[in-house]
Amino acid sequence: MITSHKHDAICSTLLNHASLSKIRCKHSACLAIGSKIISLGINNKRTKWNNEIFCCSHSEIQCIYNWINCRLKGSKNKSRIRKVKKKLRKMTLYVIRKSGESGHIFSNSKPCKLCLSKIKLMNIKKIIYSNDNGKLEKYNNTTNLENKHLSHAMKNLYKKKCM
């Protein structure tokens, strides 16, 4: 469990931002350097990625891609891509899930298996997420973080592909 004014301020912003999500499970994520929020993301009903339409975009992936797309602006220059990925290593990814009637209670927001693999691929080392106890958990090295959970949407997608 971690608490500080910096984390409280960031989580307060994320709670307000999570309210914008139109999905039942209201997740919000941000990339931050220190106490400065660099990019925000929420989960959405659907997204288009690699010319396929998926039924849900997870907040952490949306947050990362928003920041990367802003930095690259369509460039496919490999050295520029490496520089962007190097900057991500210095950032902290926050992920929270808003729950409860008051909307100020955290629920489990540990990234799913697919999001976690993408986070590791993007060289993000530090992650802070909310757990079922309403507390924040911090990992300074995502290579040690594991999760076998697949989101409901991804389970349905796998079922369709296997049929």
Residue predicted with more confidence, 73 or 3 = 73
Q: What is the pLDDT of residues 63-75, one digit of tens each?
A: 998 898 888 887 7
Indicate the pTM of the whole model: 0.81
If you average pLDDT over each of 2-11, 34-43, 142-151, 152-161, which comes out highest?
A: 34-43
**Domain count across the chain:** 1
Mean pLDDT, rounded, for 77-101: 86
* Side chain identity at residue 57, one-letter code: S
String of DSSP letters for 40-65: EEE-BS-EEETTEEES-B-HHHHHHH
Structure confidence by residue, pLDDT tens digits, 107-136? 888 888 888 888 998 889 999 998 888 888
Quote the CA–CA distance of 105 and 52 in Å, as a whole number.
Answer: 34
What is the rounded average pLDDT for all residues in the chain? 81
- Any idea what the CATH number is for the domain that residue 132 is in? 3.40.140.10
Residue 18 has pLDDT above 90, yes or no: no
Q: Can you tell me the mean pLDDT for 79-88?
A: 87
For 29, the domain range is 5-162
Q: Which helix (H) or strand (E) holds 15?
A: helix 5-18
More confident residue, 145 or 9: 9
Cβ neighbours for 143, distance < 8 A, ≥ 6 positions apart: 120
Say which amino acid occupies 83: K
Task: With cut-offs at 50, 70 and 90, classify the pLDDT of residue 100.
Answer: low
